[in-house]
Amino acid sequence: MPVHKAADSEEVQRSLGRRIRDLRSQRGWSQEQFAGVCGLHRTYMGHVERGEKNVSLSTVLRVAGALGVRLPELFGSLRSRSTAARPPQALSRRAKGLGLAPLEVIGVLDELQIQRKALKQAVRNLTELWRRGLGPGGRRAKGSRR
């Protein structure tokens, strides 16, 4: 497992801060309004946006929730050459052909994998309900026996 230098972590912090600021600005929120929505102090949010704070996972989750984005979208555009996973060459060529950055494609693939798991679980749940003869609202379907 590679060891990351402090300079790498600082660059990720700055990139994340810029991303948060961009998403906040797109929504037309002041830094103070956004900090209030997140339940954080306005000066702390300023430190985060400038990349001066190493934020906790709970803070990242608060920020993502307030922005209405999932973590892959929040982290998807971070550009740290030293810490970013390198996508396979074929994926990189295809992504460029579609006008996407390879890391954006990886984020989309991660999100699709999460959604696929959720859909599989929903199908299993519905199959089990159907097997038990339950219809909408938990009522037994007509003609079903136990």
Q: What is the pLDDT of residues 68-122, one digit of tens each?
A: 888 888 887 664 433 344 455 555 565 666 666 655 666 667 777 778 888 888 8
Delimit the domains of the chain by residue range: 6-84, 87-146
Q: What is the pLDDT of residue 115?
A: 80
Residue 35 and residue 24 in contact, taking contact as beta carbons nearer than 8 Å: no
Q: Hey, what's the torsion of the CAs at 7, 104, 72, 114, to 10 degrees?
A: -140
pLDDT, the chain, mean: 76
* β-sheet bridge partners, residue 134: 140
Q: What is the pLDDT of residue 139?
A: 60
Question: Which CATH code is given to the segment(s) 6-84?
Answer: 1.10.260.40
Q: What is the pLDDT of residue 88?
A: 54
3-state DSSP assignment of residue 134: strand
Q: In this structure, what token pair is assigned to residue 9?
A: 């972590």
Which residue spans within the chain are E strands per DSSP?
A: none
- Please identify which residue in the block is written with the tokens 């103070």: 32
Assign residue 70 a region (left: φ > 0; alpha: ψ between -120 and 50; beta: otherwise).
beta
* β-sheet bridge partners, residue 140: 134
Question: In the chain, how long is the greatest CA-to-CA distance?
Answer: 68
Q: In this structure, what token pair is assigned to residue 65?
A: 């929730």
Q: What is the pTM of this model?
A: 0.51
> How far is residue 67's CA from residue 22's CA, in Å, rounded to a whole number?
11
Question: Over 80: is that where the pLDDT of 26 sits?
Answer: yes
